[in-house]
Structure 1
Amino acid sequence: MTDKLKSTLWPLSIGVLTLLIWQLGGFHALLDLKPFQLPVPTGIASTLAQNLTKALRDCGITVSGAIVGMIIGSSIGFLIAVVATVFPKWGYGGLTVVSAFNAIPIVALSPIMNRWFSTGMGQKIGVVTVVTMAAMAINAYRGLTDLKPFSLDLMKSYAANRRTVFFRLRLPNCLPSVFTALKINITSSMIAAIVSEYFATSTSGLGFGIKDNLRKAEMAMGWSYITIAALAGIVLYLIISMVERRAVKWHASQRIK
């Protein structure tokens, strides 16, 4: 309990110290910024409290697009990894192509998706889908194929067929890698969704709110949207981490030392 408390208090202490330095103008003096260029935390919190309903509504729009796109992209990526595992000669090429998609910049992908879809939500989901496929495909493929030799030999000694080997050995071995990909994708999906809203025709979402408020020099409101986006990403990451602890509690990474 003492070690867990220390591991929690240290990050919190650093965070509180950072906010205190920010509030007292330390960053303004260091970076030669004016208060209107970088609002202090109390000003951001006050602005957010006054516009909380609208900010939460925009956050819900962004998060919903990010989650739907992540589910679709992760599902496609996992399917590609399964095909590459079961049919190596046919599936490995698809894995390589999907991995290449990861090199496409979001700022180049968003305008293309904006032409393909008639709604801002469709464009957002399309961008997030493409962004999240590669991480899942690569990690899932590694989990499905990186098996301990003795475990595979043991399955073969019992005359287990390919279906049994997949569901009893490969799939459980793949779960930690799948959750690793999901934790990567949940942050990537939020970034992709917010960036895609910069190019969307809709006037809602965190990305549009950040762009619109910073364009109008309403810095406190713009930073309040950035704060909401950061908090949403943290909450989604913690939810996946909690599910991971229960789903793969047998794995070495989840053991409490």
Structure 2
Amino acid sequence: MSVKTDTSLPAARLRPSPNHNDRPEGARIDLLILHYTGMESGAAALQRLIDPRSEVSAHYLVEEDGTILQLVPEARRAWHAGVAFWAGARDINDRSIGIEIVNPGHEYGYRPFPEAQIAAVTELARDICARHAIAAERVLAHSDVAPARKQDPGELFPWAELAANGVGVWVDPEPVGGGRYLQEGEEGQPVEALQSMLALFGYEVPIDGVFGDATRLAVTAFQRHYRPQTVDGVADMSTISTLHRLLQRRPGLG
């Protein structure tokens, strides 16, 4: 008897990884997390994702030519997000699908993602979101859920293109310019308001009016995903306005 991938996409094929376990009983899949592999080659990344000694996996791997490999069944809990948080949830692996996208990443020569690869990621993500009814605002970067540890898939990832094709959310960022800004070390009500918006968006930040390390990391992660022109952890007017406009588009918040 042949074994099929979860997706019906003809480009997908199986390459099983042993690195998975049961999802908690009753767990609903409501997050899609996008990663880059961050290794010197796609072959090296695949070997790590299927090596039982690595204790790392994802549900899918998308190669630079657009080939899609399914490593873990969607019903199983792949080990892709690690220590993470989003909107009150801590064990992101329990409730998510993970897609690894072949790219050397910031450590090995970060570069733009090929068109064929992005087309395949878009089609796969759209298929996953439709089958699991994953809300657009819950299609996230690994750096969103683990800003202290991760940068992927990074500021070169074309989130706007995905959103234009029905995956995730996007608004054109406010232009980077002058005006008031908030940065690490500042305190007061404006910082508390910024923290409240970041927390409402989903990031794990204290709401204490102190612009500390956790706030800087959340701002950096937000910029990397939604305002990639400048990624510096400084909450300038462009960053704050873009965050506010995205929150306005949230169901029940606008």
| Bin for the TM-score computed over the shorter chain | under 0.3
Q: Which has the higher contact order (CA 8 A, sep 6+)?
A: 1
The structure with the largest helix share of the pair is 1
Higher Rg: 1
